[in-house]
Structure 1
Amino acid sequence: MGTVIAVTSGKGGTGKTSITGGVAASLALMGHTVLCIDMDIGLRNLDITLGLSDRALMDFSDVALGRCPLARGAVDHPDVKGLSLLTAPMSLSPSLTIDKVRAMLDTARGQYDYILIDSPAGLGAGFRLAICGADRALVIATNDASSLRDAQRTVCELESIRQVHLIMNRIQPKLLRKLRATIDDAMNTAGLPLIGVVPEDDQVMLAANLGQPLTAQGRRGAALACWNIALRLDGNQVPIMRIR
């Protein structure tokens, strides 16, 4: 049975979608079957991050509401074997209930090794829908006070999930030194164990603009950090990247 991982953040602008795409592509390159589900309803940028822009005809609500099977709704990546995407609808249907989303995720568990959910930022109805069937959660934060405080609030909504980890994203070493802040401080503020540190990296935007997954830019910087996070999710012990 596959593992459902919700990727969350307390606020926008943390790079949550880029992390989702980078980790998902890394898991697929390791030989796993991976389904990305974009549950950021209305924004739906995960297709751009994965290089699958405008390829999807169906969205996850079509699958959850029984309008099409999962195999037809999911779009397979042409370049990354084992990676598929189920995109988000433009609006949230009142018929889309937690029970129906859970049933869809149960089906996905039987077909994929990993299911990564790109959840909406904040703590609204869309967030609750995105986390309802998760086995694990990743909370994405940047190293600023407001992001970490929002991460704290997010953690309080994830009490039903067994394993919750923190990813510090867009880390700039010069700023860390100037603020005299450390990753340990961030962990203490968010109240979570750390599973990854991702540096600020221009390659993230470049990959999206080229319509490629981050992994296509080579295994360095943010792409290497996402690869290491994927290894840890898969049960491997890998040192946390040092940001210099």
Structure 2
Amino acid sequence: ALAQNGHKILCVDCDIGLRNLDLALGLSDRALMDFSDVAQGHCSLESSVVEHPKIPGLYLLTAPARSRGRPVSNQQMRDLLREIRTQYDYCLLDAPAGLGTGFMLATCAADRAVVVTTADASSLRDAQHTVMELNRFPLGSLHLVVNRVRKKMLRSMHATIDDAIDKAGLPLIGVVPEDDALTLSLNRGVPLLLADYGSSAAAAYRNIARRVAGGKAPLLRIR
């Protein structure tokens, strides 16, 4: 959504050994080099990123396919991100679930973070632990996205979006409804905003992109 708004975007997959962002974007046959190749000086950033063929301005730098210890140091990751900042408007670091190596590398030099959770109790507990690990980020640089929201499920759990905000302790930047179109687009390897322009989740992503870029957009009404 940011790229479609005219920004130059680099997505970096930090899920070492279990990378799948290339599959979601339909770039699995194009992404050959990974971020460790660039950070260790084996190849240049320009030769390693892959531009999406249908979304101008959207690029991918994938994660190492195999997990063999820590692929790069925190300092190497900081140096890589310093170079990325000179060439892209936004760098989106896709951190894996959990608080392991991929998470630490993704957050060691990031300017801000978005914690993604669902409204169930176990996910919110994980979000709380994640927020505690992100305590070095200054006020205003941490935000919350509540994902896969179903109104009927919230009612059955006697829960609200406000409950999720209170438990995570973060300001809300977006609410994404449960949407079958997202599952279909992931399996087809086509970004949702290309696969189903009218989907409710796609509308939520566009609103989040506007807020990330400093604009204003209403929270999506969950039906």
**Do they superpose with TM above 0.5?**
yes
Task: Give the TM-score normalised by structure 2.
Answer: 0.95
Give the equivalent residue in structure 2 for 1:142. Answer: 118
Distance 1:211 1:126, change over 3 A: closer
Q: 1:205 aligns with which of 174, 183, 192?
A: 183
Distance 1:225 1:95, change over 3 A: closer
Question: Quick one: distance in 2 between partners of 1:210 and 1:95?
Answer: 30
Give the equivalent residue in structure 1 for 2:163. Answer: 185
Question: Quick one: distance in 1 between partners of 2:161 and 2:96?
Answer: 25
Question: Quick one: distance in 1 between partners of 2:168 and 2:125?
Answer: 7
Question: Quick one: distance in 2 between partners of 1:113 and 1:180?
Answer: 41
Are 1:116 and 2:82 matched, yes or no?
no
State the Cα distance separating 1:170 from its structure 2 match.
0.3
Aligned-pair Cα RMSD in Å: 1.1
State the Cα distance separating 1:220 from its structure 2 match.
2.8
Deviations 1:121-150 (A, max 9, x none): 111222111111100100000010010011
Deviations 1:193-217 (A, max 9, x none): 1000000001111112222111111
Distance 1:221 1:92, change over 3 A: farther
Q: Is the 8 A contact 1:50 1:214 kept in 2?
A: no
Secondary structure of 1:188's counterpart equals helix
Distance 1:135 1:92, change over 3 A: farther
1:58-69 equivalence runs, <5 A: 58-69=33-44
Question: Quick one: distance in 2 between partners of 1:35 and 1:171?
Answer: 27
Task: Give the TM-score normalised by structure 1.
Answer: 0.87
Segments of 5+ residues of structure 1 without an aligned counterpart are 1-25
Q: 1:176 aligns with which of 150, 154, 165?
A: 154
Q: Which moved further from structure 2: 90-99 or 127-136?
A: 90-99
Give the equivalent residue in structure 2 for 1:241. Answer: 220
Question: Quick one: distance in 2 between partners of 1:94 and 1:39?
Answer: 12
Deviations 1:30-86 (A, max 9, x none): 000000000011111101111212211100000011101110110011000000000
Distance 1:92 1:214, change over 3 A: farther
Higher relative contact order (CA 8 A, sep 6+): 1
**Runs of 4+ deviating beyond 2 Å:** 92-95
Question: Quick one: distance in 2 between partners of 1:92 and 1:54?
Answer: 23
Q: 1:107 aligns with which of 70, 83, 88?
A: 83
Overall identity of the aligned pairs, in %: 57
Give the equivalent residue in structure 1 for 2:142. Answer: 164
Give the equivalent residue in structure 1 for 2:193. Answer: 215
